[in-house]
A and B are shown apart, each in its own frame.
Chain A
Amino acid sequence: MKRPLRIIAGVLIVGSIAFWAATGANRGWTKTSVPKKTVDETTGLEGIQWQEKFVPGVDFLGAALLGAGFLTGLSFLSRAKSNNPPIETKQ
């Protein structure tokens, strides 16, 4: 059980960093909406329209690292798989 837990933790760290980087490496908080500026041709006013978009931030990375740390910690608590064959008892 040790190995799978550590593999999952590693995948979680690498995957979340890759996702964070691929979505713009936002160094602020996670966003679920982003503002899009529009200009009214008649008045020249700049309007803001909100579009639903998930942009992970540093809190997302922090949560992923925390999760990976928890899984790694759990792996230390789980028993290693024994390589010795089970002892047979004579009857």
Chain B
Amino acid sequence: MKTKLTLLAFMALTGAALAAPQTFDFKDPKGINNAGFKLDAPLEAINGSASGISGTVTFDLEHPGATKGKIIVATASLMLPNPMQKQHMLSDKWLDATKFPEITFESKEFKNVQTAGDTTTADVTGTFTLKGVSKEITVPVKLTYMKDKLGQRVPNQKGDLLVIRANFTIKRSDFNIMPGQFEDKVSDIIELTLSIAGASPK
């Protein structure tokens, strides 16, 4: 009887450990993680990207709807091909990178969660903070859980990967970025693309 109880307890503990949510770190040693942004403009669209991505996401394959996390983008890492445009973008008139060094998104709730194999799609509602202004937005995301794939990405490390992809739009006027100004030169709508992978070492 004692052996059976011990075995049951061991199985319960192992099961709990396997189903436990994992925390994924999104600081990418390979530098692939990036957030792209695009704004329409008369001569040519303004296309840029940000590489300074960090943050953590807690994910449980058994309960993907309970996913929680925060993704941080370093404002100074925003890059544009034209140096003058970049200088203007980071200046106090536009993003004010010195005063507001981070752009963040913190998830609150997952809705319309659909899981097929290792891939989950959902509409994530959370707080998006840009230039010190926080606003609740809903973003469609795709999460791909890649078991035991960390070693393929980072040699000599065992663990899992979580890939997050998201495409959504925001309005710069909602975040106090030159509201109502220069809309004939730089569109109010900003298209954002997030392609990031987080690691959960074992």
Binding site for B on A (CB under 8 A): 27-35, 38, 40-50, 55, 58
Contact = CB atoms under 8 A, between A and B. Distances in A.
Interface stretch (B26-34, B64-72, B173-181): B26-34
Interface string B57-86: 000000000000000000000010111010
B44 interface: yes
A7 to B, nearest CB: 32
Given A29-B82, A48-B49, A50-B79, A40 B44 contact: no
Nearest to A49: B31
A44 B51 CA distance: 17
A43 B32 contact: yes
A50 B83 CA distance: 12
Interface stretch (B8-16, B103-111, B131-139, B145-153): B145-153
Contacts of B34: 47-48
A33 B81 contact: yes
Nearest to B45: A28
Contact of A30 (B79, B82, B195): B82
Which among B81, B152, B161 has the greatest number of chain A C-beta atoms within 10 A?
B81
A30 B80 CA distance: 11
B81 A27 contact: no
